[in-house]
Amino acid sequence: MPKVGMQPIRRQQLIEATLQAVDQVGMGDASIALIARLAGVSNGIISHYFQDKNGLIAATMRYLMSVLSENVTARRQVLGDDSPRAHLQVIIEGNFDASQVNGPAMKTWLAFWATSMHQPSLHRLQRINDHRLYSNLCCQFRRVLPLDQARSAARGLAALIDGLWLRGALSGDAFDTEQAQRIAYEYMDIQLAKQECKSTSA
Amino acid sequence: MPKVGMQPIRRQQLIEATLQAVDQVGMGDASIALIARLAGVSNGIISHYFQDKNGLIAATMRYLMSVLSENVTARRQVLGDDSPRAHLQVIIEGNFDASQVNGPAMKTWLAFWATSMHQPSLHRLQRINDHRLYSNLCCQFRRVLPLDQARSAARGLAALIDGLWLRGALSGDAFDTEQAQRIAYEYMDIQLAKQECKSTSA
Amino acid sequence: MPKVGMQPIRRQQLIEATLQAVDQVGMGDASIALIARLAGVSNGIISHYFQDKNGLIAATMRYLMSVLSENVTARRQVLGDDSPRAHLQVIIEGNFDASQVNGPAMKTWLAFWATSMHQPSLHRLQRINDHRLYSNLCCQFRRVLPLDQARSAARGLAALIDGLWLRGALSGDAFDTEQAQRIAYEYMDIQLAKQECKSTSA
Amino acid sequence: MPKVGMQPIRRQQLIEATLQAVDQVGMGDASIALIARLAGVSNGIISHYFQDKNGLIAATMRYLMSVLSENVTARRQVLGDDSPRAHLQVIIEGNFDASQVNGPAMKTWLAFWATSMHQPSLHRLQRINDHRLYSNLCCQFRRVLPLDQARSAARGLAALIDGLWLRGALSGDAFDTEQAQRIAYEYMDIQLAKQECKSTSA
DNA sequence: GATGAATGAGTGTTCATTCAT
DNA sequence: CATGAATGAACACTCATTCAT
């Protein structure tokens, strides 16, 4: 029974079915038929809401990115402390949030990364995402460090966050959030300490 | 023109064609037909030397892992200095060696990671590889740090190396080896410094 | 030109194409492509209506069985005489009906039998069919003979019917229905006579 | 290590491997590779001793036929009684011999029959076999019955023997030799009795 | 808006056969 | 004699996509 105004509902329904499918069988075996079955709709509907399979994949990736982004934003808004350290902590916590370190999300991100190497449209999305983390980190470090040091610290912390996330994802075991955060905080504090040392000596 | 004793030659030929194919079109589109064409052999030969496509993929992954492993081993053997720092440097350099940070290798590793999430046999290989890096790092840190600190340092450095590698791979640009090494060396030295501080104070 | 409600039509279409293909080239060479071509549809449609080739084969076998069964049932319904002999004649005639002793049907039955030896699902169907003939015969003999004799008579007549059918099928020539029926009737009458003799002597 | 005079040995080796393969996986899946593996030889050797796969199949069928034929011949040679009834019993016993009613033999015969419908060379072999049974039976009935009755009796008994064999083969259970022989003997005796009746009345 | 029938190219895999060794 | 490397066509099956309803 067709209805009007179904577009946003259907789109979200299909995106979630896509995540579910990738989690269950991997991106390679996540066929249109499986996704449609998981969403409880017909095969044909997908090309109605998304141009084709690539469109659905890209939309799903954009959705995942927006969840991450909104997560960090939300955490920042309830932040009393405005110090760089507090902001950096929020970014770290957001990246190790439960919404990012569960099985489905980790599998989907990995699949997206691999796919993005050969699909310009996905690659663009992926670069935006990567740059956002670096940019957010750099922005905070910049408040207490000279440009070069801030950039280097941001690159290092971004890499450390992604690396901790990656190794956790690939391990197959449950993600050890506490351990990851401890290591990231330590790195953050070491980088922030450079400023203190300098200002102390000055 | 059939010959005897072709097995090792053909196997290597096919593994290299697989790397080439994954580099060109991605793992999803790296069909048997394409790999065979790139290798200059017939389709059927693949099941003659590898049981099936999965066998070829797994063999290719094992090959990539052995290249990385042998690279580090070779560097270690020409090492005059036996200090932990020298050994750690060798491991870092090995992971950022040209054989690991070029396009084909990076694309193939990413594809393997994504695939391994849904293939137990590949996942096992992948865990061995992950553990080897951690284990090698931990072994060196252990020489100068207490167990807990050594483990933490190894986890952090392993994550930093993988993260630097990953972000470099995903960037699409040429890998900035010097920058990555500088950041990794800094982290290594900070961790090693914990021991020196302690022994100094003692 | 897609339409709705095509399922029963397409299924019958494909079953008949399967019979045609087996008749023409044998079951071993009755490929999906050939069957689809004979049916005038695309290859892919077969997995849409039947799970796979085995599904199509099993459906075809069920169809052949139902034709035989309905044939006997139809003959029985126009039967004025309710005597065991009349019923047995109907069964014999049904098994030597033109629908069973033509080339395609005979080739297909033979192929099914051979295949059923290695496919549990087909074997089950085949046993049901075999048992039906025996059961129908036994039921009629039972009306005039003690259980043991009825069973023996049914086994013998079932074997004779199948044997006559088989030798006719394998001969390659046109089936001599009259001759086969004469031999089967004789056997039937001999078995039925056992009762008459007994009742006469009583 | 090649040897001379291997031909008969190798041929028999391969024929027996073929029977084994057909028993295990059916004729459809009895590949050259499987047969060669079961025989413990290389793939290529088959075309050396038999022209191609069809040659091997035909040779296997000829072998099976000769076993049946020699079985009956051997039983006849140890026969004291020269009566038609004794000879007919020998034929019946030979057809229900253990060499004919075991799984492998039954599966192979069925497969041959189905295949022979589409292969002239096998069909010729098969007709020779069918005719031999009829001819042997007819020859014995002819000694006591007029031609027409002998032919009819032979046709009936041949069909009954084949039918009993067939239904036993398809049942999947162990062959009930005693029951089959009892039914066949009864038919034989009824046909032979026609002569006695006539001669008695004469 | 939504369905599912239909397509046909493409996939991995199997296989009988050939032939240099 | 015998091997097994190599081929390439054929196979069943999958799939994204299209489109009449």
Rounded Cα gap, residues D193 and D200, in angstroms: 10
Whole-angstrom distance, CA of residue B126 vs CA of residue B133: 11
Cβ atoms within 10 A of the Cβ of C37, count? 14
DSSP 3-state assignment of C91? helix
Q: How far apart are CA C113 and CA C130, in angstroms?
A: 11
Tell me which H or E stretch contains D94: helix D84-95
The nucleotide minimizing the C1' distance to residue B45's CA is F6
CB atoms within 10 A of CB C17: 22
Q: How far is B75 from chain A (nearest CA, A)?
A: 24
Quick: pLDDT tens for C63-72.
999 999 999 9
Q: Say how far apart CA D164 and CA D106 lie, in whole Å.
A: 12
Instruction: For strand F, list residues 21-40 of chain A whose Cβ lies within 7 Å of it.
Output: 29-33
Specify the pLDDT at position B136. 97
Query: C139-147: which pairs have CB atoms within 8 A and are 24 or more residues apart?
Result: C140/C84, C140/C87, C140/C88, C140/C91, C141/C84, C141/C88, C141/C191, C141/C192, C143/C84, C144/C84, C144/C192, C144/C195, C145/C191, C145/C192, C145/C194, C145/C195
D141 by Cβ neighbours in 10 Å (0-12 / 13-18 / 19+) ranks as buried
Residue A4: which residues within 8 A CB-CB, separation 6 or more? Answer: none
Look up tokens 């930093």; give the residue: B160
Q: Quote the CA–CA distance of C179 and C163 in Å, as a whole number.
A: 13
When computed from its CA atoms, the radius of gyration of chain B, rounded to whole angstroms, is 20
Nearest residue to C94 (alpha-carbon basis) of C182, C161, C151: C161
Of D25, D115, D160, the CB nearest to C160: D160
CB pairs under 8 A between A and B: 130
Residues B69-103: b if buried by 16+ CB within 10 A, e if exposed: eebbeebeeeeeeeebeebbbbbbbbbbbeebbee
**Between the CA of A137 and the C1' of F16, what is the distance in angstroms?**
41
Q: What's the residue count for chain A?
A: 202
The answer to whether D28 contacts chain C (CB < 8 Å) is yes
Residue D176 amino acid letter: D
From the CB coordinates, do chains A and B have 3 or more pairs under 8 Å?
A: yes
DSSP C27: G
Question: Which region holds residue A5: left if phi is over 0, alpha if psi is between -120 and 50, else beta?
Answer: left
Q: Which nucleotide is nearest to B5 (CA to C1')?
A: F5
pLDDT at B198: 52
Contact residues on chain C for D183, CB-CB shorter than 8 A: 152, 155-156, 159
pLDDT digits (tens, 9 = 90+) for A59-69: 999 999 999 99
Q: How many Å lie between the alpha carbon of A79 and the closest alpha carbon of chain B?
A: 27
From CA C65, how far away is CA A128, in angstroms rounded?
Answer: 64
- Is the CB of D2 within 7 Å of strand F? yes
3-state SS, one letter per residue, for chain A:
CCCCCCHHHHHHHHHHHHHHHHHHHCHHHCCHHHHHHHHCCCCCHHHHHCCCHHHHHHHHHHHHHHHHHHHHHHHHHCCCCCCHHHHHHHHHHHHCCCCCCCHHHHHHHHHHHHHHCCCHHHHHHHHHHHHHHHHHHHHHHHCCCCHHHHHHHHHHHHHHHHHHHHHHHHHCCCCCHHHHHHHHHHHHHHHHHHHHHHHHHC
In terms of C-beta density within 10 A (0-12 exposed, 13-18 middle, 19 or more buried), how is residue A140 classed? Answer: buried
User: What is the block-wise mean pLDDT of chain A (202 residues), using blocks of 10 residues?
Assistant: 70 94 93 95 93 93 93 91 95 94 90 92 93 97 97 98 96 94 98 72 44
Nucleotides, chain E, CB distance < 7 Å: 1-21
- What single letter denotes the amino acid at residue A19? L
Alpha-carbon span A20 to C149, nearest angstrom = 65
Any idea how long chain C is? 202
- Asked if C107 and D117 come within 8 Å (Cβ–Cβ), the reply is yes
**What confidence tens digit (pLDDT) does each residue in A22-41 have?**
999 999 999 999 999 999 99
Q: Residue B202: how many CB atoms within 10 A of its CB?
A: 5
How many Å apart are CA B93 and CA B71, to the nearest integer? 9
Give distance CA C17 / C1' E5 (Å).
Answer: 19
The answer to whether the C-beta of D7 is closer than 7 A to strand F is: yes
Going from the first residue of chain D to its last (202 residues), give the mean pLDDT of each consecutive group of 10, the final group possibly shorter. 68 94 93 95 92 93 92 91 95 94 90 92 93 97 96 98 96 94 98 72 44
Indicate contact of C with D: 3+ CB pairs under 8 A: yes
Confidence of residue C80 (pLDDT cuts 50, 70, 90): confident
- Cα separation, C36 vs D60, in Å, equals 34
How close, in Å, is residue C114 to chain D by CA atoms?
5
Nearest Cα residue in chain C from D163? C163
Contacts of D78 (CB under 8 A, 6+ apart): none
Measuring CA to CA, which residue among D46, D17, D164, D29 is closest to residue D95? D164
Please judge whether D114 and C116 are an interchain contact, meaning their C-beta atoms are less than 8 angstroms apart: no
Gap from D117 CA to E9 C1', in Å? 35
In this structure, is the dihedral angle defined by the CA atoms of residues C74, C78, C83 and C88, taken in order, positive or negative?
A: negative
Mutate which of C102, C148, C155 to disrupt the D interface (most D C-beta within 10 Å)? C155
Average pLDDT over residues C127-146: 96
**Which of D163, D182, D190 minimises the CB distance to C162?**
D163
Please give the torsion angle defined by the CA atoms of residues C81, C83, C89 and C91, in that order, rounded to the nearest 10 degrees.
100
Interacting residues of C100 by C-beta distance below 8 A, sequence separation 6+:
C68, C71, C94, C106, C109, C165
- Residues A193 and B193: their CA atoms lie apart, in Å, by 15
By C-alpha distance, which of D3, D30, D1 is closest to D15?
D30
The residue type at C27: M
- If one compares C200 and A166, the residue with the highest pLDDT of the two is A166
Q: Kindly state the DSSP code that residue B27 receives in the 8-state scheme.
A: G
Contacts of residue C110 in chain D, CB cutoff 8 Å? 110, 113-114, 117
First to last CA, chain A: 74
Nearest to A161 by CA among A141, A147, A145, A182: A182
Write down which chains contact chain C via at least 3 CB pairs under 8 A: D
Query: Letter for the amino acid at B137?
Result: L
Q: Are C59 and C145 in contact (CB under 8 A)?
A: no
Q: CB contact, 8 Å: D7 with chain C?
A: no
Check CB contact of D20 with chain C, cutoff 8 Å. no
Mean pLDDT, range C29-48, rounded to an integer: 95
Least CB–CB distance from C183: residue in D106, D111, D155:
D155
Angle (deg, nearest 10), helices A103-116 and A147-171:
120
- Residues 35-54/D with CB within 7 Å of nucleic chain F are 41-45, 48
CA pair distance C7, D20, nearest whole angstrom: 42
CA-based nearest residue to D67, from D28, D19, D113: D19
Q: How many residues does chain B have?
A: 202
Site of tokens 């049901």: C128
Q: Give DSSP secondary structure letters for D120-187.
A: HHHHHHHHHHHHHHHHHHHHHHHTTS-HHHHHHHHHHHHHHHHHHHHHHHHH-S---HHHHHHHHHHH
CA dihedral A117, A123, A126, A130 (to 10 degrees): 80
Q: Alpha-carbon distance A124 to A60, whole Å?
A: 14
Whole-number Å distance between alpha carbons of A43 and A48: 10
pLDDT value of position C3: 61
Q: Closest CB to C130: pick one of D26, D170, D179.
A: D170
pLDDT tens for each residue of chain B, 202 residues long: 446 678 888 899 999 999 999 999 999 999 999 999 999 999 999 999 999 999 999 999 999 999 999 999 999 999 889 999 999 999 999 999 999 998 888 999 999 999 999 999 899 999 999 999 999 999 999 999 999 999 999 999 999 999 999 999 999 899 999 999 999 999 999 999 987 555 544 4
Q: Does C156 touch chain D (CB under 8 A)?
A: yes
Q: In whole angstroms, give the CA distance from residue D60 to residue B13.
A: 41
Measure in Å the smallest separation between the Cα of A6 and chain B Cα atoms.
Answer: 33
> What is the sign of the dihedral through the CA atoms of A87, A90, A94 and A96?
positive
Residue C201 has what pLDDT? Answer: 46
pLDDT for the residue D8? 81
| C41 shares contact with chain D (CB less than 8 Å) | no
Interface partners of chain B (CB pairs < 8 Å, 3 or more) are A
Contact status, residue A157 vs residue A187, Cβ threshold 8 Å: yes
> Residue B104 has what pLDDT?
87
C45: the nucleotide nearest its CA (via C1') is E6
Q: What is the CA radius of gyration of chain C?
A: 20
Q: What is the greatest pairwise CA distance in chain D?
A: 74
Q: Which of residues 42-101 of C touch strand F (CB under 7 A)?
A: 43-44, 47-48, 52-54
CB pair distance less than 8 Å for D159 and C170: no
Cβ-contact A176, B177 below 8 angstroms: no
List of chain B residues whose C-beta atoms are within 8 Å of the C-beta of residue A155: 164, 167, 179, 183
Chosen from C117, C125, C192 to mutate, greatest number of chain D CBs within 10 A? C117
